[in-house]
Each structure stands twice: as C-alpha cells, then as structure tokens.
C-alpha cells in the first residue's frame, strides 16, 4: 500500500479521518498498513456521537479514543496539529479522508443557518459541505495556519 512504500522511502505517515478499509483483524487496521499515526474512524456512516453500525467508532493509533466533537472539526484539528509538529527535515505523508458528506447527514446547526431557504435534506447536506470547506481551509496551507486557533 502507498503508506507502506512511503514509509520505506523514509516518510512519516499519518491518516486522519475515515479508514473504511477493514478493521476486523489487526492486520487490516491503519497502523498495520504503513501508517505511523491514525486518528478517526473505521466505518463509513458515523453519527455525531461517533457511533456506527457496530457501536462506538473513534480511534487514535488504533485504540478507542473518547474525544468529543463534530468529526469534521476533530479531523481538521488533528491534521493541523500534525502539520505544526512535523519536523521540517522529515518527509511527511498526511492522508485526510473526511467523513463529510457521508451519511448519516448531520451537522451543527450553525452550518445549516445560511441555507435556511433550502429544503431538507439539501439544507443539511449544504451545511456539511460548508463545515468541511472551513475545515480544509484551516488545514492548508500550514504556513498561514501556525498561529491560528483550532476549529471549534
């Protein structure tokens, strides 16, 4: 897999977000597939409370993590942290697969407010896209981000 090849080439590797490539055996989790660091969830659909079809689904380095918050914000904050802390002289591969805008369609209300004129479920979907757009803007470019406050 790509992270394994990059690791062999001297890169630090991290995945922050949705894995969705298997977790039923240890051999399938991100840190067994070349990632030095993992933060996020294993399933596709994820509720605001971080549950999926099989229960609670939020992990850090393949261990249950009880961080609270909207997954889009948590993913962005972790990606920002990794970019800030990554040594400048070490190549780094960061994979950031957001859960947005995957079902179930849920988003904090403040992101839906600008789209009050849209019918549901389009209003919520637009809010999810707006939250993800804000999160991506907070991650990149990191040089403009070093002193910024984390997304809340």
Paired residues of 39 in beta bridges: 16, 60
pLDDT at 75: 96
Whether 71 and 99 have beta carbons less than 8 Å apart is answered as yes
pTM of the model: 0.87
pLDDT at 15: 96
Beta pairing class for 12-18 and 37-41: parallel
DSSP bridge pairs for 63: 60
CB 70 within 8 A of CB 131: yes
Mean pLDDT per 10-residue segment, the chain (152 residues): 93 93 74 92 89 90 94 96 92 94 92 97 96 92 49 41
DSSP result, 40-104 = EESSS---TTSEETTEE--EETTEE----S-HHHHHHHHHHHHHHHS-TTS-EEEE----TTPSS
pLDDT at 146: 44
Strands 51-52 and 63-64: unpaired
Alpha carbon distance 72, 99 (integer Å) = 7
């Amino acid at each position: 897999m790509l992270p394994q090849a990059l690791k062999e080439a001297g890169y630090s590797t991290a995945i922050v977000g949705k894995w969705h490539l298997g977790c039923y055996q240890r051999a399938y989790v991100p840190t067994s597939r070349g990632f030095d660091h993992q933060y996020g969830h294993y399933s596709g659909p994820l509720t605001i409370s971080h549950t999926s079809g099989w229960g609670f689904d939020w992990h850090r380095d393949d261990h249950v993590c009880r961080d609270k918050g909207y997954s889009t914000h948590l993913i962005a904050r972790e990606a920002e942290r990794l970019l800030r802390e990554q040594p400048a002289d070490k190549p780094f591969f960061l994979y950031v697969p957001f859960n947005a805008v995957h079902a179930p369609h849920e988003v904090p209300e403040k992101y839906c407010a600008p789209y009050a004129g849209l019918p549901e479920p389009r209003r919520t979907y637009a809010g999810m896209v707006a939250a993800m757009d804000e999160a991506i803007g907070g991650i990149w470019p990191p040089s403009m981000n070093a002193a910024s406050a984390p997304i809340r």
